[in-house]
Structure 1
Amino acid sequence: MFAPKFGIRVIIIPALTFFGLILLWEIVDAVFEVKKIIAPAPHEIALAFVTEWRALFKATGITMLESVLGFILGSLVAFMLAILFVYSSTLRIAIYPYAVALKSTPLIAIAPLLILWFGNGLLSKIVMAALVAFFPVLVNAVDGLTSVEKDALSLMRSLSASQWQIFWKIRFPHSLPFIFSSLKIASSLAVVGAVIGEFTGSTSGIGHLINTSSYYLDTDVMFAAILMISSGGIIFFGIVSLAEKRIVFWR
């Protein structure tokens, strides 16, 4: 498996690309005299960071809290269900199609129901984040737990190992690369789910801030909010990736 090596190039190249794009954006904005309400220049967005930093950090913190809690909830439920699927094919046949149906349902269609059931506070956003994080973890966990080599299972059974011992010594370690691959995907999806929930109905968070800014045509604040939550999502993804390198050290 390919494992990226972190070094100075991994930091410098993206940084140079970022500053190059910012410079190009600034030049295009100045040459074509793009209106601030359409696409503010980078220096105008930077000014919005300075003037609205309290609101931006508070909103980002709330959205990231919803995302992390939803990520944990969705991942735990998915992993526990995956274990049940491994040991009960009947349960897998009975429930798996509904998990696929849930994944196929547009988030924007589910969000109003969650607001109705759980209110417009944190809980509905946590549930939304959990729903979008749930499916990739479920699929990869099932694949990881069931794709163990038959020879390894036969050896453990010949040694009179219990199902519990087989799980902890064979199935679980084998599934970790699969699980962490899905956790990295789920970490990003959880942020998306939380923001969509905030767009539908909330009194706080990045989604609420973007909605409010769009109402007052504060496009620079909208861009600043998008950059803030994107940065939060990148950091979240990086933390999960770092945990993968520490735990799945044999890859």
Structure 2
Amino acid sequence: MTRAFFVPFSFFVGLVIAWQVFVVAAAVPEYLLPSPLVIVGTLDKSLLTEIGYTAGEALCGFAIAGVLAFTGAILFVRFRTIEQGLFPIAITLKTTPIVAIAPLLVLWLGTGWWSKVAAAALISFFPVLVNTVKGLKAPEADFQDLFRTMRADQFQVFRKLRIPYCLPYFFSALKISSSLAIVGAIVGEFVGAEHGLGYLIVISSAHLETPAVFQAIGAAALIGISMFYTLEFFEKRIVFWIQLETE
């Protein structure tokens, strides 16, 4: 655990030092590339408010996407007709850039909270759906035959075989979608917002306040990292048998 933390932390510190040395040695203007010391030195408490808006939007959209995707995956596996009818629509939503959909969300839902939540949910939905469907279909034929031999009904097969088998796939998808939810929320804020990290990036870029832009980018990264490792924490405790198998 110590090594797993120390190695990436050392690389990060080395990168920051190299960045600082390069900016000072090359005399790069602050509006083009501010140094890490300038970025940290100009931090303002108002950044916490913007972090709160974006984190709340991303978490809400991520939660909605997770619930809907898991429910949809169960329906897809249980009813083949539903999968054949709705899966192409899900693919269409995935292949449509969120930047193209975001203006419509603002038009339909306004510039407030829900258009950003919807953007975060849309971009997070597909990875969870696909991985969960794959996980629910993953149990080997021998296990399914065993359950049939023991006269298990469909509900028991799902609860005791398919869902436990699918949980590693589900958590892997959640960890991927956690970062996508941040992207969706920020893209929604780009299009129309009065708060949030995306709003801060747009306003700061227009005024050439580059340190504030980097602060917003760093804050977004921290939200994503926090969500990722929180999910990993719960994964190790819920899907504990995977950890036991690798030891």
Could you say whether these structures have the same fold, taking a TM-score greater than 0.5 normalized by the shorter chain as the test? yes
Matched, 1:24 2:15: no
Q: Identify the residue that residue 33 of structure 1 maps to in structure 2.
A: 27
Q: Identify the residue that residue 179 of structure 2 maps to in structure 1.
A: 188
Amino acid in structure 2 at the alignment position of 1:117: W
Q: CA deviation at 1:58?
A: 0.8
Distance between the aligned counterparts of 2:229 and 2:197, measured in 1? 20
Matched, 1:149 2:140: yes
Matched, 1:117 2:111: no
Q: CA deviation at 1:225?
A: 1.2
Distance between the aligned counterparts of 2:138 and 2:216, measured in 1? 42
Q: CA deviation at 1:11?
A: 1.7
| Deviations 1:214-247 (CA, angstroms, capped at 9, x unpaired) | 1211111111111111111101111011111111
User: Aligned to 2:28, what secondary structure does the other structure show?
Assistant: coil
Amino acid in structure 2 at the alignment position of 1:207: G
Q: Identify the residue that residue 75 of structure 2 maps to in structure 1.
A: 84
Q: CA deviation at 1:85?
A: 0.6
| Deviations 1:161-218 (CA, angstroms, capped at 9, x unpaired) | 1111111000100000111110100111111111111111111000001111112111
Q: Identify the residue that residue 10 of structure 1 maps to in structure 2.
A: 4
TM-score when scaled to structure 1? 0.94
Q: CA deviation at 1:12?
A: 1.6
Q: CA deviation at 1:120?
A: 0.7
Distance between the aligned counterparts of 2:100 and 2:69, measured in 1? 22
RMSD: 0.9
Q: CA deviation at 1:10?
A: 1.6
Q: Identify the residue that residue 238 of structure 1 maps to in structure 2.
A: 229
Greater mean deviation of Cα atoms: 226-235 or 152-161:
152-161
Q: CA deviation at 1:157?
A: 1.8
Amino acid in structure 2 at the alignment position of 1:236: M
**Aligned-residue identity in percent:** 43
Gaps of 5+ in 2: 243-247
User: Aligned to 1:250, what secondary structure does the other structure show?
Assistant: helix
Residue in structure 1 matching 2:56, options 46, 65, 79: 65
TM-score when scaled to structure 2? 0.96
Gaps of 5+ in 1: 1-6
| Deviations 1:68-121 (CA, angstroms, capped at 9, x unpaired) | 111110111111111111111111111101100110001100000000111111
Length, aligned pairs only: 242
